[in-house]
């Protein structure tokens, strides 16, 4: 007999995947990972025997439980299920899947919806990061429909506001893990930065590209992808991350002058496939580099005046606006980042895993 596990299949921002109550999965990590690999159909390039969509953005899982720290409503663990390797990476965050956590928690009765809107404090267990997430709950029920549009998702949905409270140095030792705003690897200037996501930023023109290429062009660019992977491995050591060969970070991002009225243009490799848009904390991290003097974005990005900055990060399917609050005494220092996402419950039910895994529960 196959084993059934209750799940809600949800879109969070521009990602999607099954969400589970932590108590419904095996408690030890190797067993949990075996189950998640089976749920998603990994390792297999097509994930044909599971729920995964054969793209990093659709090979994600959310695991949610009640908060255990004072003031924290919910704990969220994000799992990136690697498509073609038997590996589940829970090191980095995913701000897109995060958008579905509060709707999931209301659906599954972990928290009670308030009249109008409901704000919950979520602790992301991956990096110990807290944020406040506000969802629409007219009549005390979660509302998915509404007028908010995020680029990369067709149509409109109810807005979900995420306010990140402490993002610097999520996986790395600090915001600038090499201690410098600019490093040089193989004659290429890079900014290694982690404000929620470990990233290596470099100018598209410095690698002979425009930064305006389509996702298909980027993914077909074998020469660029090989160069980026060599750079990623070297940068991983420089950033104190050790050998990142098998990790899903750092993300690699080409930056260029904006060409659609935004602040900066990006093409983000996550890390081997070009993102159709940009990750949430990747956008926060790029936006942060834009306000920092001497980064590779300095000189190419276009920002308004003032101490609160809206940074519009252009990506292959539109733009992503990040509202940054800066420390008035040190405008290089980002104190908070707020942004808009949407989410939707796509399906509720049970996912089945092969019978030999039953003994793991």
Name the one range near ligand NQM by CB under 6 A: 89-97, 143-151, 234-242, 322-330.
Answer: 89-97
Query: How many residues line the site for ligand NQM (CB under 6 A)?
Result: 16
Specify the residue, 14 or 312, whose C-beta has the smaller distance to ligand NQM: 14
* Contact call for residue 339 and ligand NQM (CB under 6 A): no
Name the one range near ligand NQM by CB under 6 A: 35-43, 87-95, 288-296, 316-324.
Answer: 87-95
Q: If residue 197 lies in a helix (H) or strand (E), which one and from where to where? A: none
Neighbours of 299 (CB within 10 A): 10
Nearest approach, Cβ of residue 112 and ligand NQM (Å) = 27
Q: The tokens 């070297």 sit on which residue? A: 234
* Contact call for residue 57 and ligand NQM (CB under 6 A): yes
Neighbours of 145 (CB within 10 A): 12
Sign of CA dihedral 99, 101, 104, 106: negative
Specify the residue, 281 or 353, whose C-beta has the smaller distance to ligand NQM: 281
At residue 336, the 3 state secondary structure works out as strand
Specify the residue, 162 or 301, whose C-beta has the smaller distance to ligand NQM: 162
186-221 in b/e form (b: 16+ CB < 10 A) is eebebbbbbbbbbbbbbbbeebebebbbebeebeeb
Query: What distance lies between CA 52 and its chain's CA centroid?
Result: 17
Name the one range near ligand NQM by CB under 6 A: 105-113, 115-123, 187-195, 276-284.
Answer: 276-284
For residue 344, report the phi and psi dihedrals to the nearest 5 degrees.
-155, 140
Query: For residue 271, is the peptide bond before it cis, meaning its omega torsion is within 30 degrees of 0?
Result: yes
Residue whose Cβ sits closest to ligand NQM: 279
Residues in contact with ligand NQM, shown as a per-residue x/- string from 10 to 49 under the rule CB under 6 A: ----xx----------------------------------
**Candidate residues 7, 59, 96, 170; the one interacting with ligand NQM per rule CB under 6 A:** 96
Specify the residue, 235 or 353, whose C-beta has the smaller distance to ligand NQM: 235
**Candidate residues 282, 292, 300, 326; the one interacting with ligand NQM per rule CB under 6 A:** 282
* Contact call for residue 280 and ligand NQM (CB under 6 A): yes
Residues in contact with ligand NQM, shown as a per-residue x/- string from 172 to 191 under the rule CB under 6 A: --------------------
142-149: long-range pairs with CB below 8 Å, 24+: 142/103, 142/106, 142/107, 142/113, 142/118, 144/103, 144/342, 144/343, 144/344, 144/345, 146/342, 148/340, 148/342, 149/342
Q: Which residues bind ligand NQM (CB under 6 A)?
A: 14-15, 56-57, 93-96, 197, 251, 270, 275, 279-282
């Amino acid at each position: 007999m196959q084993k059934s596990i209750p799940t809600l299949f949800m879109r969070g921002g521009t990602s999607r995947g099954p969400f589970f109550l932590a108590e419904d999965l095996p408690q030890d990590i190797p067993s949990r990972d075996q189950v998640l690999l089976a749920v998603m159909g990994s390792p297999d390039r097509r994930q044909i025997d599971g729920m995964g969509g054969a793209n990093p953005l659709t090979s994600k899982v959310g695991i949610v439980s009640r908060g255990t720290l004072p003031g924290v409503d919910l704990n969220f663990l994000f799992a990136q299920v690697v498509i073609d390797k038997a590996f589940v990476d829970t090191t980095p965050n995913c701000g897109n899947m995060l958008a579905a956590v509060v709707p999931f928690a209301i659906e599954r009765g972990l928290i009670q919806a308030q009249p109008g809107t409901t704000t919950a404090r979520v602790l992301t267990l991956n990096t110990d990061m807290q944020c406040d997430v506000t969802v629409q709950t007219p009549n005390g029920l979660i509302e998915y429909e509404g007028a908010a549009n995020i680029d990369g998702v067709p149509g409109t949905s109810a807005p979900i506001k995420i306010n990140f409270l402490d993002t610097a140095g999520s996986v790395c030792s600090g915001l600038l893990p090499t201690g410098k705003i600019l490093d040089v690897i193989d004659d290429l200037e890079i900014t290694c930065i982690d404000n929620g996501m470990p990233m290596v930023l470099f100018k598209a023109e410095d690698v002979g590209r425009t930064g305006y290429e389509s996702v298909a062009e980027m993914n077909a660019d074998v020469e660029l992808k090989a160069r980026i992977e060599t750079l990623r491995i070297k940068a991983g050591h420089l950033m104190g991350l050790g050998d990142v060969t098998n990790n899903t970070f750092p993300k690699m991002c080409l930056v260029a002058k904006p060409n659609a009225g935004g602040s900066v243009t990006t093409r983000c490799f996550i890390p081997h496939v070009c993102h159709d848009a940009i990750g949430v904390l990747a956008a926060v991290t790029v936006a942060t580099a834009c306000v920092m003097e001497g980064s590779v974005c300095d000189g190419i990005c276009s920002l308004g005046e003032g101490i609160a900055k809206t940074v519009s990060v252009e990506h292959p399917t539109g733009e992503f606006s990040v509202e940054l609050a800066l420390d008035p005494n040190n405008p290089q220092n980002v104190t908070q980042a707020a942004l808009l996402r949407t989410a939707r419950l796509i399906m509720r039910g049970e996912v089945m895993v092969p019978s030999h895994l039953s003994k793991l529960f």
